[in-house]
Structure 1
Amino acid sequence: MILDAREIPAGTLLHTDLCIVGAGAAGITLALALEDSGLDVIVLESGGDDAEPQTQQLYAGTVADTRLHPPADNYRVRRFGGSTTLWGGRCMPLDALDFKAREHIAHSGWPITLDDLLPFYPQANALCEAGDFTYTTREFAQTLPPMIGGLAHERFTTDTLERFSCPTDFGSRYRARLTNGRVRVLQHANLGTLPMQDGCTRRVGNAVVRVLGGATFGVAARAYVLATGGLEVPRLLLNSPGPSGRGLGNAHDVVGRYYMSHLAGTIGTIDLAAASSVWHGYDVSEEGIYCRRRLALREQAQRALGAGNFIARLHHPRIPDAGHGNGILSALYLARFIVPYEYAKRLYDGTPDGYAGSTLAHLKNVISDAPGTAQFLWHWLRKRTLADRKFPSVIVRPANLRFSLDFHAEQEPNPASRVTLGNDTDALGQRRIHIDWRYTQQDVATVSRALEALAQEIGRSGVGRFIYDPNEVEAEMTRYGAYGGHHIGTARMGADPRTSVVDANCRLHEVDNVYIASAAVFPTSGQANPTLSIVALALRLAAHLRGAANPGVQTGTRFAAPTACPATSLSESV
């Protein structure tokens, strides 16, 4: 059922087995997965069904370098459905290598393997509405033409796929199911703090919940799950003192550290005129899902080059440069003022005005290429604007087969890249975050070495040439700063409490009844967009929580209850 916390009287104490904080991809997944578990579950969601400026403002914070990171309240949505109301729908799993410790990637290695997550990926794919869990062309039902005909595949492969969700807004898609279910979803409910249980150093007690402009009430739960995203998770933990007084889970000053995103940019020119064929658009699977192939750096090549995980896609020429002569791209540039910030940022090419004086040239392109522009707009109206399953992005095939290269790479975990609390407070009295995102020379090396290897592979194959300026790599990979809404690693998973925040089951090392469901727990970022893996990890956590409530029925262990604390378990009634 979905309720409004603004109707709960001040001072009320709600009792439950499990309290989930946040109703985005992770929180809603957990709620759905635990519907029939026998557990009493409450979900706290800060927003309502629609965007609310006052609520969104709670995400505001400060940024150390605004050239390298967007404002704290961008790329995040504080409402029912969370940032799935914003995402582009790109889905792909992590690779086996992402979970391994690698000498050339500092602080790498997960306490679990890909095999531990694989059982949960198919259901995650279904929840994200991305079709079957098949991510290579070998598993594709139909035979696909080569991406680049004649390209040797010694260091790069073109047989891996990205699948695209509708994109699915988890809030609207699963609202009816939650409305009619047992789980209580409280909208407009903001978690304030998680104080320690009286007389106990290993358990959190009653949560303090606040309503904007309204009452404060409490939730008494056996266990809590923070499912609020990679920036809000450290904020909530650091705003609760915990047993150390330095923040919940932060006895060793790890909360908020190792903040990662992805390294992304567009660079150079790939001339593929000599290739026997070129296909850089979307394939449609048998079940009607848009899929796209990309150039992926093989595991053995990553190790040989000392590079992180890296993928690249053939991309149209830079939009702001009117020299491309394409009416579609020029129309996009001219429409940049009405495009959402998250996508318009790339249209500016790094400066507020883009290429100075280019507006007239773009207008000329639109007029001279009027038939092509009209055809594109008709396609966009049918396949994007009016479609339930939306065509994922702009695809323009250059007549001369000269593409730019769009790359997306792993960022090395860096303890100096971090999220802390600032001095300002929000409308609820909680300290806001301060973001200091940093990259390393290994990050520059990952992109530089991968690009060089790709240029060599294209040249040796005789399919064309890739021309770019190696001296511009660092500038290109930081042109847009930290990539979009990929907030990763701020409460990392690990076996050692001195270098991680949660264990292999996503439970805080420091206390026995607080878990995290978020990309915050990822020890490394890999090359993959995080949403699908966030959902898979939430499903894995749900299985663990079921086991905690019903030992022997499903995997998981009972919550430990130190002798200094009251002996409680998740399955006991309240």
Structure 2
Amino acid sequence: MIGDANDVDQGALLRADACIVGGGPAGIALALALSGQGLDIVLLESGQRQPDAPTQSLYDGEVNDEKLHSPPDKYRQRRLGGSSTIWGGRCTPFDAIDFEARSQVPHSGWPISLEDLRPFYPEANRLAEAGRFAYDARQAFSPEAPPMFRGFASEVVSTDGLERFSCPTDFGARYARRLQVARDVHVLLNANCTGLRLDKETRAIREVEVRTLAGRRFAVAARTVVLATGGLETARLLLASRESAPAGIGNEHDVVGRYYMCHIAGNVGTLEIQGDAAGVRHGYEVSPEGIYCRRRIAVREAEQHRRGLANAVARLHFPRITDPRHGSGVLSGLFLARPFISYEYGKRVNDGTAATLPLYARHLLNVAADPLDTLAFLGHWLTRRTLAARKFPSVILRNRSNRFSLELHGEQMPQARSRVTLAGKLDALGMPQLRVNWCYSSADIESLRRTLDVIAQEVERSGLGRLRYDAGALEEDLVRFGAYGGHHIGTTRMGADPRTSVVDANCRVHSVNNLYVAGSAVFPTSSQANPTLTLLALSLRLARHLAQRLSPRPIATLEEQPA
């Protein structure tokens, strides 16, 4: 059922087998997977079903450099469904190499392998509504499907990898009915977890403190507590729970909040392809089950090892939107519409370029000179994006010239100095706000430079064409938007050694017997892939572990007692 925390008696103590904190994709996937296992489950969600400004403001905080990292309240949504209410839907699994300890990636190596996670990916794919778990073009379509580049073959560079796109699925809206009718799941909206009470003798969380913005206070006592509040908020909650742990729960070795990663991403260079445009598949393809898919360029894993590269992918992209020299009425239209585009998708259109009158005039001339393409694009966007249940994922333009930029999306090296800490200011509930100090390194940029060089060599060797980029401007191109994309990774990293990690291979906090973390906060490395599909798979794996660990018993009515 779904209820309101403001309806819980003041000072009540709710009892459950499992208390899940956070109603985003990780928390919802975990609750659904545990349902039907003979357990009582409480899911605490800070927000409501719709956006609420006072609740969203609980994410307010500080950043060391806003050019490098957006304010903490951006890219995140504090409501049922979490950030799946605003995501783009891109789904891609991690690669086998991502789980390995690699000399070229310091602090790499997961305590689990891809094979440990592989059984859970198909169900994660289903929950995300991304179709079959098929991420190779030859598997997803057919061995006879046309390649990305006609006539291109390489033992070094792959062009068969796919990304698949969710609707994009809002997990709150999509699964609200299942949560509502589940007898063993009790969802409480407006329920803000403000602290964890640790019993030092039993090394277990005794109670979860809950407050509402309306002033209601109560607690939840559960046999198992799972934090599924995202890469930033999970660290904040652990660091702020200092009643019995002065440095914060799980932070005996000063690891909580460290190794904070996103991805290194940007548009670079010019790729010129020989031959006609029909020989290049640069847009979205539709799989047999109706899922939008797109191909990517990647250096194969063996070559990554040989050359000492971090993982990365490249997508074919159009020129920089803010530069009117592209001559595209569609891109200029996007530039002119930038005041009406959401923060999450407008950041690349609002890249700091001064909005001068001459610049506007040049973009207006592009629109006037390209009316047919502009009108065709608007019609396509209205029917295939705005009004469609399964939305066309992003802007794709007809390419007549066979000239593209490359959109790079690279793994970020984990480093201890990239971290989140508690700030001095308190939020409306009395919790310390977060301070974010996201750092990248020269090794991140150098790895992507050498990745580009490998791709360029293979493009020329095969006769496909030519890739050129400005090495001197590469760092600027890759960090122009900073930690772009809202991928908050690594702040409670997984590992075997409590001195260098926060949770173990089962996502349990090393020093607490009944406290777990679900989500991308536990990723030791960031991969080339967006985190959503993998955090769903990890949540499903955690659900199996918890179902086995917690002895099933008959479902009981949620008990309320005075605290």
Query: What is the CA–CA distance in structure 1 between the aligned matches of 2:159 and 2:412, rounded to whole Å?
Result: 22
Look up the match of 2:74: 74
Q: How does 1:378-417 map to 2 (within 5 A)?
A: 378-417=379-418
Look up the match of 2:248: 247
User: Letter of the aligned partner of 1:61 in structure 2?
Assistant: G
Query: What is the CA–CA distance in structure 2 between the aligned matches of 1:69 and 1:355, rounded to whole Å?
Result: 26
Look up the match of 2:120: 120
- Is the Cα–Cα contact under 8 Å of residues 261 and 482 in structure 1 kept in the other structure? yes
Look up the match of 1:169: 170
Look up the match of 1:50: 50
Q: How does 1:500-539 map to 2 (within 5 A)?
A: 500-539=501-540
Look up the match of 1:330: 332
Give the Å deviation of 1:179.
0.7
Look up the match of 2:300: 298
Query: What is the CA–CA distance in structure 2 between the aligned matches of 1:483 and 1:546, rounded to whole Å?
Result: 36
Give CA-to-partner distance per residue, 1:221-265, whole Å, 9 cap, x none. 111000000000000000102654200000000000000001100
Q: How does 1:143-292 map to 2 (within 5 A)?
A: 143-182=144-183, 183-197=185-199, 200=201, 202-241=203-242, 243-274=244-275, 277-292=279-294
5-14 or 285-294, which deviates more: 5-14
Report the 3-state secondary structure (helix = DSSP H, G, I; strand = E; otherwise coil) of the residue aligned with 1:357.
helix
Look up the match of 2:448: 447
Query: What is the CA–CA distance in structure 2 between the aligned matches of 1:145 and 1:361, rounded to whole Å?
Result: 38
- Is the Cα–Cα contact under 8 Å of residues 161 and 292 in structure 1 kept in the other structure? yes
Report the 3-state secondary structure (helix = DSSP H, G, I; strand = E; otherwise coil) of the residue aligned with 1:458.
helix
Give the Å deviation of 1:213.
2.6
Look up the match of 2:65: 65
1:483 and 2:499 correspond: no
- Is the Cα–Cα contact under 8 Å of residues 425 and 432 in structure 1 kept in the other structure? yes
Report the 3-state secondary structure (helix = DSSP H, G, I; strand = E; otherwise coil) of the residue aligned with 1:9.
coil
- Is the Cα–Cα contact under 8 Å of residues 385 and 391 in structure 2 kept in the other structure? yes
Give the Å deviation of 1:201.
5.1
- Is the Cα–Cα contact under 8 Å of residues 313 and 408 in structure 2 kept in the other structure? yes
Report the 3-state secondary structure (helix = DSSP H, G, I; strand = E; otherwise coil) of the residue aligned with 1:407.
strand
Report the 3-state secondary structure (helix = DSSP H, G, I; strand = E; otherwise coil) of the residue aligned with 2:26.
helix
Report the 3-state secondary structure (helix = DSSP H, G, I; strand = E; otherwise coil) of the residue aligned with 1:206.
strand
Look up the match of 2:132: 132
Query: What is the CA–CA distance in structure 2 between the aligned matches of 1:54 and 1:328, rounded to whole Å?
Result: 37
Report the 3-state secondary structure (helix = DSSP H, G, I; strand = E; otherwise coil) of the residue aligned with 1:434.
strand
1:16 and 2:16 correspond: yes
Look up the match of 1:339: 341
Give CA-to-partner distance per residue, 1:463-511, whole Å, 9 cap, x none. 2111110111111111110122100000000000000000000000011
Q: 1:356 to 1:512 in 2, by over 3 A?
A: farther
Query: What is the CA–CA distance in structure 2 between the aligned matches of 1:354 and 1:59, rounded to whole Å?
Result: 30
147-156 or 264-273, which deviates more: 147-156
Report the 3-state secondary structure (helix = DSSP H, G, I; strand = E; otherwise coil) of the residue aligned with 2:106.
coil
User: Letter of the aligned partner of 2:296 in structure 1?
Assistant: R
Report the 3-state secondary structure (helix = DSSP H, G, I; strand = E; otherwise coil) of the residue aligned with 1:231.
helix
Query: What is the CA–CA distance in structure 2 between the aligned matches of 1:144 and 1:429, rounded to whole Å?
Result: 58
Query: What is the CA–CA distance in structure 1 between the aligned matches of 2:174 and 2:384, rounded to whole Å?
Result: 20
Give CA-to-partner distance per residue, 1:55-78, whole Å, 9 cap, x none. 000001100111110111000000
Look up the match of 1:560: none
Query: What is the CA–CA distance in structure 2 between the aligned matches of 1:260 and 1:426, rounded to whole Å?
Result: 25
Give the Å deviation of 1:6.
1.0
Report the 3-state secondary structure (helix = DSSP H, G, I; strand = E; otherwise coil) of the residue aligned with 2:205.
coil
- Is the Cα–Cα contact under 8 Å of residues 138 and 145 in structure 2 kept in the other structure? no
- Is the Cα–Cα contact under 8 Å of residues 20 and 43 in structure 1 kept in the other structure? yes
Query: What is the CA–CA distance in structure 2 between the aligned matches of 1:195 and 1:141, rounded to whole Å?
Result: 52
Instruction: State TM-score, norm by structure 1.
Output: 0.94
- Is the Cα–Cα contact under 8 Å of residues 23 and 82 in structure 1 kept in the other structure? yes
> Which ranges of structure 1 fall in alignment gaps of 5 or more residues?
554-569
Query: What is the CA–CA distance in structure 1 between the aligned matches of 2:483 and 2:331, rounded to whole Å?
Result: 24
Query: What is the CA–CA distance in structure 1 between the aligned matches of 2:551 and 2:355, rounded to whole Å?
Result: 59
Report the 3-state secondary structure (helix = DSSP H, G, I; strand = E; otherwise coil) of the residue aligned with 1:230.
helix
Report the 3-state secondary structure (helix = DSSP H, G, I; strand = E; otherwise coil) of the residue aligned with 1:346.
coil
Look up the match of 1:6: 6
Instruction: State TM-score, norm by structure 2.
Output: 0.96
User: Letter of the aligned partner of 1:461 in structure 2?
Assistant: S
236-245 or 280-289, which deviates more: 236-245
Give the Å deviation of 1:193.
0.5
Report the 3-state secondary structure (helix = DSSP H, G, I; strand = E; otherwise coil) of the residue aligned with 2:384.
helix
Give CA-to-partner distance per residue, 1:89-144, whole Å, 9 cap, x none. 00010000000000111000000000000000000000000000000012123432
Give the Å deviation of 1:355.
7.4
Report the 3-state secondary structure (helix = DSSP H, G, I; strand = E; otherwise coil) of the residue aligned with 2:193.
strand
- Is the Cα–Cα contact under 8 Å of residues 104 and 307 in structure 1 kept in the other structure? yes
Give the Å deviation of 1:419.
0.5
Look up the match of 2:96: 96
Give CA-to-partner distance per residue, 1:4-62, whole Å, 9 cap, x none. 00111211111111100000000000111111011100000000000000000000110
Runs of 4+ aligned structure 1 residues displaced above 6 Å come to: none
Report the 3-state secondary structure (helix = DSSP H, G, I; strand = E; otherwise coil) of the residue aligned with 2:467.
strand
Look up the match of 1:427: 428
Q: 1:356 to 1:460 in 2, by over 3 A?
A: farther
User: Letter of the aligned partner of 1:123 in structure 2?
Assistant: E
Give the Å deviation of 1:343.
1.1
Report the 3-state secondary structure (helix = DSSP H, G, I; strand = E; otherwise coil) of the residue aligned with 2:124.
helix
464-473 or 150-159, which deviates more: 150-159
Give CA-to-partner distance per residue, 1:267-315, whole Å, 9 cap, x none. 1111113478111011111100001101011111211221100100110
259-268 or 243-252, which deviates more: 243-252
375-384 or 249-258, which deviates more: 375-384
- Is the Cα–Cα contact under 8 Å of residues 322 and 353 in structure 2 kept in the other structure? no
Query: What is the CA–CA distance in structure 2 between the aligned matches of 1:315 and 1:356, rounded to whole Å?
Result: 27
- Is the Cα–Cα contact under 8 Å of residues 197 and 244 in structure 2 kept in the other structure? no
Query: What is the CA–CA distance in structure 1 between the aligned matches of 2:468 and 2:161, rounded to whole Å?
Result: 24
Q: 1:460 to 1:249 in 2, by over 3 A?
A: same
Report the 3-state secondary structure (helix = DSSP H, G, I; strand = E; otherwise coil) of the residue aligned with 1:177.
helix
- Is the Cα–Cα contact under 8 Å of residues 6 and 214 in structure 2 kept in the other structure? no
- Is the Cα–Cα contact under 8 Å of residues 151 and 457 in structure 1 kept in the other structure? no
Give the Å deviation of 1:175.
0.4
Query: Percent identity at matched positions?
Result: 55
User: Letter of the aligned partner of 2:432 in structure 1?
Assistant: R
Query: What is the CA–CA distance in structure 2 between the aligned matches of 1:129 and 1:398, rounded to whole Å?
Result: 30
Question: In the comparison of the two structures, how many residue pairs are matched?
Answer: 554
Look up the match of 2:315: 313
471-480 or 36-45, which deviates more: 471-480
234-243 or 431-440, which deviates more: 234-243
- Is the Cα–Cα contact under 8 Å of residues 201 and 243 in structure 1 kept in the other structure? no
User: Letter of the aligned partner of 1:139 in structure 2?
Assistant: Q
